[in-house]
Structure formats: structure tokens, C-alpha cells
Structure 1
Amino acid sequence: MTGHRQRVGNVPLVLLIFYTLFIAFMTLTPQQLDTSPEGPIGRVLDFFASHRLTEWLTYGRVEKLANVAMFVPFGFLLAFHLGRRRWWIGWAVGAAFTCVIEGTQATLLSPTRYATVSDLITNTLGAGIGAVLALVLMVLLPPREGPESTDRVVR
């Protein structure tokens, strides 16, 4: 093993698997989060709307920010697992994954879910941000030195 692989082993891969299952649960189930005005999200948005500093935080903006934020860890973990040379694959796979999600929402889940180009763009942006952050971290972290060789005398 070399570089960041020695330092972290398979941790990014294991986290990526669990995080991918989380994204699938959040996006590929028939029911959406409770978005009614009486639900927790509605109450928080009402609170933000009632204050001058946060009145700009509408449901549409929160949804877009949440889509970006949900895919940042995905792009980060995949890029970090793949390493410096293939970091960009985290971004590309994030885009492909969101295409699969939006396609499934548009076809199989169309009675309860809505596929949008906006979701495709924001999810891909999030995966790209995560992949770039992983690249920056891998560049900043110096490679770990291997164990020092010791001279052994055979008697």
C-alpha cells in the first residue's frame, strides 16, 4: 500500500457503501420527507421566514442546498478511496448515480416523487465539491513513510 491507502485502509470504501445506501433510502423510496407546513421542516422554515436575517431561506433554496450537501460526502469518499490519480471519478460517478436516481423517480416512482434537472445539477455539483475536497486533502497530506528497515543478522 502506498500514500493515503496506508493511512486509511478501507475505511473510505466502507463508509461509501453505507452512505450510498443512505442516499438510496432517501431518494428511492416512495415516501418523501414530511414537507407539510405543520411538519418539522415547515416549522423551521416558518421560523426562518419570520426573521429578517434568514427570510431568504426558502423551501426551494433549502432543498437545493440539501441536494448539494447530500452528495458532498459521496464524491469525497469515492475520490478519497480511488486516490489522487482517479479523484475525478468521484465526480463522474456522482453524476451517473444522480442520473439513475432521477430516472427512477421519473419512471418507477412518478406518482410520489418528482425528477428535476435542478436535482441533477445540484447533486452533481455536490459530488464534484466532495471530490475536489478529497483531492485537496490528499495533496496536503504527506505520504506516510513505510516502516524503517532494520538490519538483521542471521546467525
Structure 2
Amino acid sequence: MTDRDQRTVGAPLALLVLYTLFIAAITLTPQQMGTGPDTLIGHALDLFAAHRETAWLTYERVEKLGNVAMFIPFGFLAALHFGRRRWWLGFLFGAGFSAAIEIFQGTVLTQSRFATLSDLVTNTLGAGIGAILGLCCLAAWPKRSRRRESDKELAPV
């Protein structure tokens, strides 16, 4: 393996750890993202409602799409970390992480957060989509060789 390959092996794991902390900061704190009328989300929903083509984008649908979108990078990075043969662990770990979030919200953050089955489903769906995208990237990239050709020539017989 070349020096460059050795440096990039840990990149998906490092990014996955950082992204997991990002999701935790969003979901495991008492304060929710602002969804009132004077927030960015409120203005976007008003804009969607004002046009016939986007009026179907209600708060509930935007929230569900946001849950899916939030977990796509998680599943993608996990699949890249686990590799071609264990890419499906991105889906499994995404489901487990989502379940842990919902349990925490439903037991500890009961005053400000709500645990819902739909969040678990949409988060898991996002992780699954991400894991499949990760598998597609892994399939498109050439496999890394264990040893360089120059190392094979120098190896004793």
C-alpha cells in the first residue's frame, strides 16, 4: 500500500466521527432548531406555500425529508469505512444510532423533544440510502492492492 493509501484509509472514519457528533449536537440537546414564522425554515415554508408547484412541501414533509437527508452522509461514510464486504453495516449502525437518539429523546428530553417512530424510519431510510451510495462508490473505485509492484519485485523468493 502506498503512503497515500495509508493516509486515506482513516479518512471515512474520522469524517464519520465528526458527522456523528454533528448529528448528536442537533438531536440530543434540549433546544430544537427554530421553526417559528420568523426563522429560515418558517420563511422557506411560506415561500413553498405561496407557489402551487411547491405547496405540497408542508412542515411535516420537510421535516421527514430533512431526517432522511441528515442520515445519508452517515450511512455513506460508514459504508466507506466498513468497505465492500460490510457496507451494509452503514445501514445497521444508522438504524441503531437513530434508535438511540429516539430513546434518549423519549426518556431524557421529554420536556422539549418528542420520540417518534416516523423519525426512526426516516433516519434509517437515509442511512440505508447513504450506505447504498457508499457501496456504489466502492464498486466504482478500483480495489487497493495490498503491495506495490516494486515491493513484489524486491521481496525474497
- TM-score, shorter chain, exceeding 0.5: yes
The structural deviation recorded for 1:148 is: 2.3
1:128 aligns with 2:106: no
Partner of 1:113 in structure 2? 113
1:72 aligns with 2:84: no
The structural deviation recorded for 1:144 is: 3.6
Partner of 2:33 in structure 1? 33
Could you list the per-position Cα deviations for residues 1-49 of structure 1 after superposition, in whole angstroms to 9, with x for gaps in the alignment?
Answer: 59xx658311101100100000000000000000112221111100110
Q: Is the 8 A contact 1:35 1:41 kept in 2?
A: yes
Coordinate RMSD, CA, aligned: 1.8
Partner of 1:103 in structure 2? 103
Partner of 1:48 in structure 2? 48
Q: Is the 8 A contact 1:7 1:144 kept in 2?
A: no
Q: Is the 8 A contact 1:68 1:127 kept in 2?
A: yes
Q: Is the 8 A contact 1:6 1:144 kept in 2?
A: no
Letter aligned with residue 127 of structure 1: A
1:92 aligns with 2:92: yes
Q: Is the 8 A contact 1:70 1:123 kept in 2?
A: yes
CA separation in 2, counterparts of 1:127 and 1:62? 17
Could you list the per-position Cα deviations for residues 121-142 of structure 1 after superposition, in whole angstroms to 9, with x for gaps in the alignment?
Answer: 0000000001111111111111
Partner of 2:148 in structure 1? 147
Partner of 2:57 in structure 1? 57
Where in structure 2 are there 5+ consecutive unaligned residues?
A: none
Q: Is the 8 A contact 1:78 1:131 kept in 2?
A: yes
Q: What is the percent sequence identity of the aligned residues?
A: 59
What TM-score results when the alignment is normalised by the length of structure 1? Answer: 0.90
Letter aligned with residue 149 of structure 2: E
Letter aligned with residue 70 of structure 1: M
CA separation in 1, counterparts of 2:94 and 2:116? 16
The structural deviation recorded for 1:90 is: 0.8
Q: Is the 8 A contact 1:75 1:129 kept in 2?
A: yes
The structural deviation recorded for 1:118 is: 0.4
Between the two proteins, the alignment pairs up a number of residues equal to: 150
Partner of 1:24 in structure 2? 24
Letter aligned with residue 104 of structure 1: F
